[in-house]
Amino acid sequence: MLNYSTRQRLLKKTAFSPVSAVDLFCGAGGLTHGLMQAGVKVEAGIDIDEKAAHAFVSNNPGSKYYLWDVGRKKYPSIDKLFTKGKYRLLAGCAPCQPFSKLTQAIDDHQCWNLLNNFARFVAGIEPELVTMENVPELAERGQDVFDNFVGTLEDLGYYVDWKIVKCEEYGVPQFRRRLVLLASKLGELKVPEGRLTSTSKWKTVRKTIGSLPPLNSGEEWPDDRLHVASLLSDLNLKRIKATSRDGGNRHDWPDKLVLECHKKQSGRRYHSIYGRMWWDRPSPTMTTLCTGIGNGRFGHPEQDRAITLREAALLQSFPRSYEFWPKSEKLNRGAVSRMIGNAVPPKLAKALGQAIIEHVSG
């Protein structure tokens, strides 16, 4: 549960908001949380994942969670969630997998229909404001779907702006590229520029996780069960120990530790796998599997382990007290890792929320 003063601050900030929002595909609430920090009242989140409900409602006071399949809903059931008399914002981040670099067979994927569903709700409800976030590949590999989405909005009379943003320029301590779209019926609304364009201003891994208690592989910090390091096999422990501190990678290893697949020509490309993060840079992009060293550069800069769930959440710019799992239940690490990796970084969402509040206030 968010601590008392943070909850009160959010409630106060959103109590008289001119904007009433609904978050489609809300997950654990990264997007909602940032919008609320900016003063947008998010009335409800909608998602098909029951495991995300606790995180969403415990950290976003006043917002309800609906366990609905967006593909099966008709627009009036969403429309009635908004508060009458306010500017309505339909926000959403449809699942990114259909377009991500890691997914080859996009034609087979049903999920991109979800973006068409988003467009269907916009057409039915015609909210004054829309925001959508997705992976940059949407504008390339999913271009037809994306063009359709933008075309629908423009035909409905929206001013539409979109761009690929760099999250590190918005104060997120992480290199993460995302496609962000804003649309308004009220007039010109631009995706805000990131203010931190100079590298010296970027938030670093050191600043974000440097003060957390040290852990060994497989260890859990008793005061925070999200600060838990995955247990490494003996071989992987040897590998991380052989990886130089602060940005080292598998090229530091003696030959006997190198994986057979990495010795082949095709395996030489993945330099980051098994690597350590750099202390004084933003982290690499957090994914749903970011607490395993074999899945990317997810090694701690100097401790011999992968990053923990709490560290991943902080690198996604979630507040330290964000609660992802009910205290009374056994922690489901896979589910929490998925929620964290999938989230819109709240700091990016806050910048979007601020642009929206300024737009309607102007």
**Which amino acids are annotated catalytic?**
96
Closest contact distance (angstroms) between CB of 94 and ligand SAM is 7
Closest contact distance (angstroms) between CB of 163 and ligand SAM is 19
Q: Are 265 and 287 in contact (CB under 8 A)?
A: no
Q: Is residue 315 involved in binding ligand SAM (CB under 6 A)? A: no
Q: Is residue 142 involved in binding ligand SAM (CB under 6 A)? A: no
Closest contact distance (angstroms) between CB of 215 and ligand SAM is 26
Q: Which residues of 347-361 are buried (b: 16+ CB within 10 A; e: fewer)?
A: bbbbbbbbbbbebbe
Size, binding site for ligand SAM by CB under 6 A: 22
What is the β-pairing status of strands 87-92 and 129-134? parallel
> Which of 1, 66, 55, 4 lies closest to 31, judged by CA?
55
Q: Is residue 334 involved in binding ligand SAM (CB under 6 A)? A: no
Which residue's CB is nearer to ligand SAM, number 52 or number 189?
A: 52
Residue span binding ligand SAM (CB under 6 A) among the ranges 21-29, 207-215, 317-325, 352-360? 21-29
Q: What is the rounded CA–CA span in Å between residue 74 and residue 53?
A: 21
Which residue's CB is nearer to ligand SAM, number 72 or number 264?
A: 72
Residue span binding ligand SAM (CB under 6 A) among the ranges 213-221, 246-254, 307-315, 337-345? 337-345
Q: Is residue 81 involved in binding ligand SAM (CB under 6 A)? A: no
Residues in Cβ contact with 88 at an 8 Å cutoff, skipping those fewer than 6 apart: 19, 20, 21, 22, 82, 125, 127, 128, 129
Closest contact distance (angstroms) between CB of 47 and ligand SAM is 4
Residue span binding ligand SAM (CB under 6 A) among the ranges 41-49, 58-66, 272-280, 322-330? 41-49
Q: How many CB atoms lie within 10 A of CB 183?
A: 24
Residues in Cβ contact with 78 at an 8 Å cutoff, skipping those fewer than 6 apart: 22, 24, 46, 90, 121, 125
Which residue's CB is nearer to ligand SAM, number 285 or number 342?
A: 342
φ/ψ of residue 90, rounded to 5 = -100, 115
Q: Is residue 343 involved in binding ligand SAM (CB under 6 A)? A: yes
Q: Is residue 48 involved in binding ligand SAM (CB under 6 A)? A: yes
The pair of structure tokens assigned to 98 is 């259909």
Q: Is residue 28 involved in binding ligand SAM (CB under 6 A)? A: yes
φ/ψ of residue 52, rounded to 5 = -85, -10
Written as one string, the DSSP assignment of 321-347 is: T---S-TTS---HHHHHHHHHHSPPHH
Closest contact distance (angstroms) between CB of 29 and ligand SAM is 5
Q: Which of residues 88-117 bind ligand SAM (CB under 6 A)?
A: 93, 95-96, 114
Which residue's CB is nearer to ligand SAM, number 24 or number 209?
A: 24
Task: Tell me the helix, strand and coil percentages in the chain, rounded to 5.
Answer: 40, 15, 45
Burial of 257 (0-12, 13-18, 19+ CB in 10 A): middle
Q: Is residue 26 involved in binding ligand SAM (CB under 6 A)? A: yes
Interacting residue with ligand SAM among 70, 153, 212, 315 (CB under 6 A): 70
Q: Is residue 52 involved in binding ligand SAM (CB under 6 A)? A: yes
Q: What is the rounded CA–CA span in Å between residue 177 and residue 108?
A: 25
Site residues for ligand SAM per CB under 6 A: 25-31, 46-49, 52, 69-71, 93, 95-96, 114, 342-344
